[in-house]
Amino acid sequence: MLKSCSIGNKTVDLVLIACLICTTMVSDPRRATAGDSDSKSLIYCDIHQGPCTKELAGMRVTLDILPKPVTAMKDLKFLVALSGEKKNTTPYIDLAMPGMNMGPNRVELRPVKDNVFEGQGIIVRCPSGRRTWKATVTLPEVGKVEFLFDVVY
């Protein structure tokens, strides 16, 4: 049995309203999910167009992923460049889906030149069909920055 409500002189099925709300929330990849504990710190990153940058502790942290388009289930090169105040630490990246436990997926980075680090990793394909991922770049003893982006299936 469908539940209905009246809006003015029209009757609307509540199931239809719920579907419309869910579709609106899922269709905008820039929105963080309610299950994400720190959704305000997320920024949308169009990683297919180029690198993304965020500030952390007096420096700029730039993330890039190659090759483009960034595709799930393929070997990817992750690049992190730091500019500003130099820190004596090697960053690493944790990959996850906002609001969903996907298990550990860490990309260990190694220095390739002054303040540039790279590593190899794979972004898995989510059985739910969701394509929005979060890369958390951690600089030990300094802090973390998060980048939210979509992948291609």
Tell me: the pLDDT tens digits for 91-143?
999 999 998 888 899 999 999 998 999 999 999 998 888 999 999 999 998 99
- Tell me: do 22 and 77 sit in the same domain: no
Looking at residues 53-81, what average pLDDT do you find? 96
Are 85 and 25 within one domain? no
Higher pLDDT, 140 or 34: 140
Phi and psi at 124, nearest 5°, equal -75, 160
Is the domain of 37 the same as that of 3?
no
Rounded average pLDDT over 61-90:
93
Evaluate whether 10 touches 1 at the Cβ level (below 8 Å): no
Quick check: 148 and 33 in contact, CB under 8 A? Answer: no
Residue 29 banded pLDDT, cuts 50, 70, 90: very low
What domain range includes position 46?
A: 31-150
Are residues 20 and 50 located together in one domain of the fold? no
Which two tokens mark 108?
């260990």
pLDDT at position 43, please?
Answer: 53
The token pair that represents 81 in the structure block: 């460049």
Q: Is the pTM of this model over 0.85?
A: no
The CA angle 140-91-95, to the nearest 5 degrees, is 105
- Same structural domain for residues 79 and 36? yes
pLDDT higher at 9 or 84: 84
> First vs last Cα of the chain: how many Å apart?
37
pLDDT at 17 over 80: no
Same-domain check for residues 36 and 23: no
